[in-house]
Structure 1
Amino acid sequence: MSQTRTDAASADSGRRLYVVLTRTGTGVARVIRILTRKPYSHASISMDSSLQQLFSFCRNDPRFPLPASFNEEIVGEGVFGRFSHIPCEIYEIPITEEQYETFHSHLTHFKNFRRLYSYSLSGLVSVPLQIRRKLRYKFVCSQFVAYMLQECNVTLEKPASLYSPEDLRHLPTAKLIYRGELNEYYADLLQRQHSYDWMHSTV
Protein backbone atom coordinates (compact mmCIF):
# COMPACT_ATOMS: atom_id res chain seq x y z
CA MET A 1 0.00 0.00 0.00
CA SER A 2 1.40 3.38 -0.97
CA GLN A 3 2.21 5.76 1.82
CA THR A 4 2.98 9.45 1.95
CA ARG A 5 5.03 11.04 4.70
CA THR A 6 5.94 14.72 4.96
CA ASP A 7 8.56 15.58 7.56
CA ALA A 8 7.18 17.77 10.34
CA ALA A 9 8.65 21.22 10.59
CA SER A 10 11.60 21.20 12.96
CA ALA A 11 12.99 24.69 12.46
CA ASP A 12 11.44 25.93 15.70
CA SER A 13 10.52 24.55 19.08
CA GLY A 14 6.83 25.48 18.83
CA ARG A 15 4.13 23.25 20.22
CA ARG A 16 2.06 20.96 18.00
CA LEU A 17 -1.21 19.06 18.18
CA TYR A 18 -1.88 15.97 16.09
CA VAL A 19 -5.25 14.98 14.66
CA VAL A 20 -5.40 11.28 13.80
CA LEU A 21 -8.09 9.92 11.47
CA THR A 22 -8.48 6.16 11.26
CA ARG A 23 -10.49 3.41 9.62
CA THR A 24 -10.92 0.20 11.60
CA GLY A 25 -12.91 -2.91 10.75
CA THR A 26 -15.56 -2.73 13.46
CA GLY A 27 -19.19 -3.14 12.45
CA VAL A 28 -20.02 0.41 13.50
CA ALA A 29 -17.10 1.82 11.51
CA ARG A 30 -18.19 -0.08 8.40
CA VAL A 31 -21.75 1.25 8.70
CA ILE A 32 -20.47 4.83 9.10
CA ARG A 33 -18.28 4.50 6.01
CA ILE A 34 -21.16 3.07 3.96
CA LEU A 35 -23.49 5.89 5.00
CA THR A 36 -20.98 8.73 4.63
CA ARG A 37 -18.96 7.33 1.71
CA LYS A 38 -15.86 8.85 3.29
CA PRO A 39 -12.54 7.08 3.95
CA TYR A 40 -12.28 7.60 7.73
CA SER A 41 -14.76 6.91 10.50
CA HIS A 42 -12.87 7.80 13.68
CA ALA A 43 -10.93 10.81 14.97
CA SER A 44 -8.48 11.17 17.86
CA ILE A 45 -6.14 13.90 19.07
CA SER A 46 -2.64 13.81 20.56
CA MET A 47 -0.10 16.26 21.95
CA ASP A 48 2.80 14.16 20.67
CA SER A 49 3.78 12.93 17.21
CA SER A 50 4.72 9.58 18.76
CA LEU A 51 0.99 9.05 19.43
CA GLN A 52 1.79 7.41 22.74
CA GLN A 53 -1.27 9.17 24.13
CA LEU A 54 -4.33 9.50 21.92
CA PHE A 55 -7.62 10.87 23.22
CA SER A 56 -11.12 10.53 21.86
CA PHE A 57 -14.70 9.52 22.58
CA CYS A 58 -14.94 5.81 21.88
CA ARG A 59 -16.03 2.45 23.27
CA ASN A 60 -15.00 1.59 26.82
CA ASP A 61 -14.67 -2.11 26.00
CA PRO A 62 -13.14 -2.94 22.60
CA ARG A 63 -15.59 -5.83 22.20
CA PHE A 64 -18.75 -3.76 22.46
CA PRO A 65 -19.84 -0.42 20.90
CA LEU A 66 -21.48 0.70 24.14
CA PRO A 67 -20.96 2.04 26.70
CA ALA A 68 -18.65 4.65 25.21
CA SER A 69 -17.15 7.83 26.63
CA PHE A 70 -13.94 9.87 26.87
CA ASN A 71 -10.98 7.49 26.70
CA GLU A 72 -7.26 7.34 26.15
CA GLU A 73 -6.40 5.16 23.16
CA ILE A 74 -3.16 3.24 22.71
CA VAL A 75 -1.87 2.06 19.35
CA GLY A 76 -1.79 -1.74 19.36
CA GLU A 77 -4.31 -2.05 22.19
CA GLY A 78 -8.09 -1.92 22.54
CA VAL A 79 -9.85 -1.52 19.20
CA PHE A 80 -6.52 -0.58 17.60
CA GLY A 81 -5.18 -3.92 18.81
CA ARG A 82 -7.92 -5.91 17.09
CA PHE A 83 -6.88 -5.04 13.55
CA SER A 84 -3.53 -5.27 11.79
CA HIS A 85 -4.76 -3.13 8.89
CA ILE A 86 -5.71 0.40 10.04
CA PRO A 87 -5.47 3.06 7.33
CA CYS A 88 -4.92 6.51 8.79
CA GLU A 89 -4.04 10.13 8.16
CA ILE A 90 -2.15 12.26 10.66
CA TYR A 91 -2.35 16.04 10.64
CA GLU A 92 -0.05 18.41 12.48
CA ILE A 93 -1.33 21.75 13.83
CA PRO A 94 1.15 24.36 15.10
CA ILE A 95 0.05 26.13 18.28
CA THR A 96 1.46 28.67 20.70
CA GLU A 97 2.58 27.93 24.24
CA GLU A 98 -0.58 29.61 25.52
CA GLN A 99 -2.77 27.42 23.30
CA TYR A 100 -0.85 24.37 24.47
CA GLU A 101 -1.48 25.21 28.12
CA THR A 102 -5.18 25.79 27.41
CA PHE A 103 -5.42 22.45 25.61
CA HIS A 104 -3.64 20.68 28.46
CA SER A 105 -5.98 22.28 31.00
CA HIS A 106 -9.09 21.12 29.13
CA LEU A 107 -7.63 17.64 28.68
CA THR A 108 -6.94 17.41 32.41
CA HIS A 109 -10.56 18.37 33.06
CA PHE A 110 -11.83 15.54 30.84
CA LYS A 111 -9.53 13.09 32.62
CA ASN A 112 -10.57 14.21 36.09
CA PHE A 113 -14.30 14.29 35.33
CA ARG A 114 -14.49 11.43 32.84
CA ARG A 115 -17.56 9.89 34.47
CA LEU A 116 -19.60 13.00 33.62
CA TYR A 117 -19.16 12.41 29.89
CA SER A 118 -20.63 9.92 27.47
CA TYR A 119 -20.85 9.20 23.76
CA SER A 120 -23.47 11.18 21.86
CA LEU A 121 -25.73 8.79 19.97
CA SER A 122 -27.70 11.78 18.71
CA GLY A 123 -24.45 13.12 17.27
CA LEU A 124 -24.40 10.20 14.83
CA VAL A 125 -27.47 11.83 13.29
CA SER A 126 -26.90 15.54 13.92
CA VAL A 127 -23.39 15.64 12.41
CA PRO A 128 -24.32 14.13 9.00
CA LEU A 129 -27.44 16.32 8.89
CA GLN A 130 -25.41 19.36 10.02
CA ILE A 131 -27.75 20.14 12.91
CA ARG A 132 -25.97 22.43 15.35
CA ARG A 133 -26.05 21.36 19.01
CA LYS A 134 -24.53 22.71 22.20
CA LEU A 135 -21.62 20.53 23.26
CA ARG A 136 -21.48 19.90 26.98
CA TYR A 137 -21.36 16.33 28.26
CA LYS A 138 -21.96 14.25 25.13
CA PHE A 139 -19.68 14.04 22.09
CA VAL A 140 -18.92 11.87 19.10
CA CYS A 141 -15.23 11.49 18.34
CA SER A 142 -14.96 14.22 15.71
CA GLN A 143 -16.98 16.70 17.79
CA PHE A 144 -14.61 16.15 20.70
CA VAL A 145 -11.51 16.74 18.56
CA ALA A 146 -13.03 19.89 17.03
CA TYR A 147 -14.19 21.08 20.46
CA MET A 148 -10.68 20.74 21.92
CA LEU A 149 -9.25 22.70 19.00
CA GLN A 150 -11.96 25.33 19.33
CA GLU A 151 -11.34 25.78 23.05
CA CYS A 152 -7.67 26.60 22.46
CA ASN A 153 -8.52 28.99 19.62
CA VAL A 154 -7.38 26.90 16.67
CA THR A 155 -9.16 28.21 13.58
CA LEU A 156 -12.27 26.23 12.63
CA GLU A 157 -14.54 26.88 9.67
CA LYS A 158 -17.78 26.03 11.48
CA PRO A 159 -19.04 25.12 14.98
CA ALA A 160 -17.35 22.12 16.57
CA SER A 161 -20.67 20.27 16.88
CA LEU A 162 -20.89 20.03 13.07
CA TYR A 163 -17.48 18.44 12.49
CA SER A 164 -17.15 14.98 10.98
CA PRO A 165 -13.88 13.07 10.50
CA GLU A 166 -13.95 14.21 6.87
CA ASP A 167 -14.19 17.86 7.93
CA LEU A 168 -11.09 17.44 10.09
CA ARG A 169 -9.12 16.64 6.94
CA HIS A 170 -9.62 20.24 5.83
CA LEU A 171 -8.68 22.27 8.89
CA PRO A 172 -7.16 25.59 7.74
CA THR A 173 -3.98 25.35 9.83
CA ALA A 174 -3.44 21.58 9.63
CA LYS A 175 -0.67 19.93 7.64
CA LEU A 176 -0.82 16.31 6.50
CA ILE A 177 2.33 14.60 7.77
CA TYR A 178 1.43 10.94 7.20
CA ARG A 179 -0.95 8.78 5.20
CA GLY A 180 -0.70 5.01 5.48
CA GLU A 181 -0.88 2.27 8.08
CA LEU A 182 -1.21 3.34 11.71
CA ASN A 183 0.70 0.32 13.01
CA GLU A 184 3.53 0.90 10.55
CA TYR A 185 3.78 4.57 11.52
CA TYR A 186 4.02 3.63 15.18
CA ALA A 187 6.48 0.79 14.57
CA ASP A 188 8.70 3.09 12.49
CA LEU A 189 8.77 5.65 15.30
CA LEU A 190 9.72 2.99 17.83
CA GLN A 191 12.48 1.67 15.58
CA ARG A 192 13.94 5.14 15.09
CA GLN A 193 13.75 5.81 18.82
CA HIS A 194 15.54 2.54 19.60
CA SER A 195 18.23 3.37 17.02
CA TYR A 196 18.65 6.83 18.54
CA ASP A 197 18.92 5.40 22.06
CA TRP A 198 21.44 2.77 20.93
CA MET A 199 23.67 5.30 19.14
CA HIS A 200 23.74 7.60 22.15
CA SER A 201 24.36 4.75 24.56
CA THR A 202 27.55 3.84 22.66
CA VAL A 203 28.98 7.37 22.67
Structure 2
Amino acid sequence: MKRKVYILLTDTGTLFTKMIKLYTRKPLNHASIALDAELQEVYSFGRKKQKNPFIGGFIKEDTRGGLFEKAKCAIYCCTITEKQYEAINCIIQEMNQHKQLYRYNLLGLLAIMLNLEIERKNAYFCSQFVATLLEESGVELRQDKPISLVTPNDLQESPNLELVYEGSLSSYLGKKKPIYSGRLQETAV
Protein backbone atom coordinates (compact mmCIF):
# COMPACT_ATOMS: atom_id res chain seq x y z
CA MET A 1 0.00 0.00 0.00
CA LYS A 2 1.26 3.47 -0.88
CA ARG A 3 1.07 6.43 1.50
CA LYS A 4 1.82 10.12 1.14
CA VAL A 5 3.70 12.56 3.29
CA TYR A 6 3.74 16.27 2.63
CA ILE A 7 6.62 18.71 2.72
CA LEU A 8 5.47 22.19 3.65
CA LEU A 9 7.77 25.08 2.72
CA THR A 10 6.80 28.47 4.12
CA ASP A 11 7.62 32.14 4.39
CA THR A 12 6.12 33.44 7.61
CA GLY A 13 7.43 36.95 7.13
CA THR A 14 9.16 37.10 10.53
CA LEU A 15 12.34 39.10 11.08
CA PHE A 16 14.32 35.84 11.42
CA THR A 17 12.91 34.61 8.11
CA LYS A 18 13.74 37.92 6.45
CA MET A 19 17.35 37.63 7.64
CA ILE A 20 17.61 34.09 6.24
CA LYS A 21 16.03 35.28 2.99
CA LEU A 22 18.70 37.96 2.61
CA TYR A 23 21.28 35.21 2.48
CA THR A 24 19.41 32.51 0.51
CA ARG A 25 17.58 34.83 -1.90
CA LYS A 26 14.84 32.18 -1.97
CA PRO A 27 11.17 32.91 -1.25
CA LEU A 28 10.51 29.96 1.12
CA ASN A 29 12.93 29.31 3.97
CA HIS A 30 11.18 27.07 6.50
CA ALA A 31 10.52 23.35 6.01
CA SER A 32 8.13 21.04 7.83
CA ILE A 33 6.82 17.54 7.28
CA ALA A 34 3.12 16.71 7.45
CA LEU A 35 1.65 13.25 7.83
CA ASP A 36 -1.69 14.32 6.31
CA ALA A 37 -2.95 16.54 3.47
CA GLU A 38 -5.05 18.61 5.89
CA LEU A 39 -1.85 19.68 7.71
CA GLN A 40 -3.07 18.60 11.15
CA GLU A 41 0.08 16.57 11.94
CA VAL A 42 2.94 18.94 11.01
CA TYR A 43 6.41 18.67 12.57
CA SER A 44 9.64 20.59 12.31
CA PHE A 45 12.46 22.20 14.20
CA GLY A 46 11.68 25.80 14.94
CA ARG A 47 10.89 28.29 17.64
CA LYS A 48 9.27 27.03 20.82
CA LYS A 49 8.17 30.53 21.80
CA GLN A 50 6.53 32.64 19.12
CA LYS A 51 8.34 35.83 20.02
CA ASN A 52 11.84 34.31 20.40
CA PRO A 53 13.48 32.66 17.37
CA PHE A 54 16.53 31.64 19.42
CA ILE A 55 14.72 29.21 21.73
CA GLY A 56 13.96 26.34 19.43
CA GLY A 57 13.77 22.60 19.07
CA PHE A 58 11.44 19.82 17.97
CA ILE A 59 7.89 21.11 17.60
CA LYS A 60 4.45 20.15 16.38
CA GLU A 61 3.36 23.16 14.36
CA ASP A 62 -0.03 24.84 14.38
CA THR A 63 -0.46 25.85 10.75
CA ARG A 64 -3.79 27.54 11.50
CA GLY A 65 -2.50 30.36 13.66
CA GLY A 66 0.43 32.20 15.12
CA LEU A 67 3.35 32.63 12.77
CA PHE A 68 1.54 30.84 9.95
CA GLU A 69 -1.54 33.10 9.77
CA LYS A 70 -0.21 35.12 6.83
CA ALA A 71 2.33 32.62 5.51
CA LYS A 72 3.01 31.97 1.86
CA CYS A 73 3.73 28.35 1.07
CA ALA A 74 4.46 25.54 -1.33
CA ILE A 75 3.22 22.06 -0.49
CA TYR A 76 4.84 19.00 -1.99
CA CYS A 77 3.79 15.38 -1.66
CA CYS A 78 5.97 12.33 -1.63
CA THR A 79 4.53 8.90 -2.29
CA ILE A 80 6.10 6.30 -0.02
CA THR A 81 5.52 2.75 1.16
CA GLU A 82 3.58 1.85 4.29
CA LYS A 83 6.87 0.73 5.86
CA GLN A 84 8.51 4.10 5.14
CA TYR A 85 5.48 5.94 6.50
CA GLU A 86 5.58 3.89 9.70
CA ALA A 87 9.33 4.57 10.05
CA ILE A 88 8.75 8.32 9.74
CA ASN A 89 5.89 8.19 12.22
CA CYS A 90 7.96 6.12 14.66
CA ILE A 91 10.88 8.60 14.55
CA ILE A 92 8.49 11.52 15.09
CA GLN A 93 6.81 9.82 18.05
CA GLU A 94 10.20 9.02 19.61
CA MET A 95 11.34 12.63 19.20
CA ASN A 96 8.06 13.89 20.62
CA GLN A 97 8.40 11.69 23.71
CA HIS A 98 11.92 13.03 24.33
CA LYS A 99 11.58 16.52 22.88
CA GLN A 100 13.46 18.06 25.81
CA LEU A 101 16.62 16.35 24.46
CA TYR A 102 16.40 18.10 21.07
CA ARG A 103 17.47 21.61 20.23
CA TYR A 104 17.57 23.91 17.24
CA ASN A 105 20.83 23.72 15.26
CA LEU A 106 21.61 27.43 14.90
CA LEU A 107 25.30 26.55 14.46
CA GLY A 108 24.27 24.35 11.53
CA LEU A 109 22.63 27.33 9.83
CA LEU A 110 25.89 29.24 10.12
CA ALA A 111 27.77 26.22 8.77
CA ILE A 112 25.62 26.30 5.61
CA MET A 113 26.86 29.81 4.91
CA LEU A 114 30.44 28.52 5.08
CA ASN A 115 29.62 25.23 3.33
CA LEU A 116 30.93 23.32 6.35
CA GLU A 117 29.50 19.96 7.26
CA ILE A 118 28.72 20.03 10.99
CA GLU A 119 26.75 17.23 12.60
CA ARG A 120 25.49 17.79 16.14
CA LYS A 121 23.79 15.17 18.26
CA ASN A 122 20.06 15.86 18.75
CA ALA A 123 20.28 19.26 17.04
CA TYR A 124 18.59 20.08 13.73
CA PHE A 125 17.42 23.03 11.72
CA CYS A 126 14.15 22.63 9.84
CA SER A 127 15.27 21.29 6.45
CA GLN A 128 17.97 19.14 8.04
CA PHE A 129 15.25 17.51 10.17
CA VAL A 130 12.96 16.85 7.18
CA ALA A 131 15.81 15.46 5.07
CA THR A 132 17.03 13.26 7.96
CA LEU A 133 13.52 11.86 8.53
CA LEU A 134 13.13 10.99 4.88
CA GLU A 135 16.61 9.51 4.55
CA GLU A 136 16.35 7.42 7.74
CA SER A 137 13.05 5.98 6.52
CA GLY A 138 14.53 5.03 3.14
CA VAL A 139 13.12 7.86 1.02
CA GLU A 140 15.75 9.15 -1.39
CA LEU A 141 15.91 12.91 -1.76
CA ARG A 142 19.24 14.12 -3.06
CA GLN A 143 22.59 12.42 -3.16
CA ASP A 144 24.73 15.42 -4.08
CA LYS A 145 25.09 17.03 -0.65
CA PRO A 146 25.32 16.03 3.02
CA ILE A 147 22.12 16.15 5.09
CA SER A 148 23.66 18.82 7.33
CA LEU A 149 23.73 21.20 4.34
CA VAL A 150 20.24 20.55 2.92
CA THR A 151 18.17 23.72 2.56
CA PRO A 152 14.42 24.11 1.97
CA ASN A 153 15.24 24.94 -1.66
CA ASP A 154 17.12 21.63 -1.99
CA LEU A 155 14.02 19.80 -0.78
CA GLN A 156 11.79 21.39 -3.38
CA GLU A 157 14.23 20.43 -6.13
CA SER A 158 14.04 16.74 -5.22
CA PRO A 159 12.70 14.65 -8.11
CA ASN A 160 10.72 12.52 -5.61
CA LEU A 161 8.56 15.45 -4.51
CA GLU A 162 5.57 16.68 -6.49
CA LEU A 163 4.23 20.21 -6.11
CA VAL A 164 0.54 20.11 -5.17
CA TYR A 165 -0.09 23.69 -4.07
CA GLU A 166 1.55 27.10 -4.05
CA GLY A 167 0.12 30.28 -2.56
CA SER A 168 -1.40 31.44 0.71
CA LEU A 169 -1.36 28.81 3.47
CA SER A 170 -4.63 30.11 4.88
CA SER A 171 -6.26 29.66 1.44
CA TYR A 172 -5.05 26.06 1.25
CA LEU A 173 -6.37 25.32 4.74
CA GLY A 174 -9.70 26.96 3.88
CA LYS A 175 -10.34 24.52 1.06
CA LYS A 176 -12.99 21.92 1.91
CA LYS A 177 -11.44 19.09 -0.06
CA PRO A 178 -7.81 18.04 0.56
CA ILE A 179 -5.47 18.17 -2.41
CA TYR A 180 -3.74 14.86 -3.07
CA SER A 181 -2.18 15.32 -6.48
CA GLY A 182 -1.98 17.59 -9.45
CA ARG A 183 -0.67 21.09 -9.74
CA LEU A 184 -2.96 23.71 -8.27
CA GLN A 185 -1.49 27.16 -8.30
CA GLU A 186 -2.67 30.33 -6.66
CA THR A 187 -1.16 33.73 -7.13
CA ALA A 188 0.93 34.42 -4.07
CA VAL A 189 -0.42 37.25 -1.96
User: Structure 1 length normalisation: TM-score?
Assistant: 0.82
For residues 60 and 67 of structure 2, the distance between their equivalents in structure 1, rounded to whole angstroms, comes to 12
CA spacing shift, 1:176–1:135, aligned 2, 3 Å: farther
Match of 1:200 in 2: none
More off after superposition, 132-141 vs 166-175: 132-141
1:111 to 62, 80, 96: 96
Aligned position for 1:61: 49
Alpha-carbon distance between aligned partners in 1 of 2:54 and 2:66, rounded to the nearest angstrom: 14
**Which residue does 2:65 correspond to in 1?**
77
SS, match of residue 128 in structure 1: helix
Aligned to 1:156: 141
1:140 aligned residue: 125
1:125 to 110, 115, 134: 110
TM-score, with normalisation over the residues of structure 2?
0.88
Equivalent-residue separation in structure 2 for 1:130 and 1:175 (angstroms): 27
The letter of the residue matching 1:134 is E
**1:41–1:165 Cα contact (<8 Å) kept:** yes
| Unaligned residue ranges in structure 1 (runs of 5+) | 1-12, 194-203
Question: Over alpha carbons, which structure has the higher Rg?
Answer: 1
Q: Which amino acid aligns with 1:109?
A: E
The one of 4, 24, 28 aligned to 2:16: 28
Aligned to 1:177: 164
Q: Is the 8 A contact 1:61 1:78 kept in 2?
A: no
Quick check: 2:7–2:34 contact (8 Å CA) kept in 1?
Answer: yes
Q: Structure 2 unaligned runs (5+)?
A: 179-189
Count of residue pairs the alignment pairs up:
176
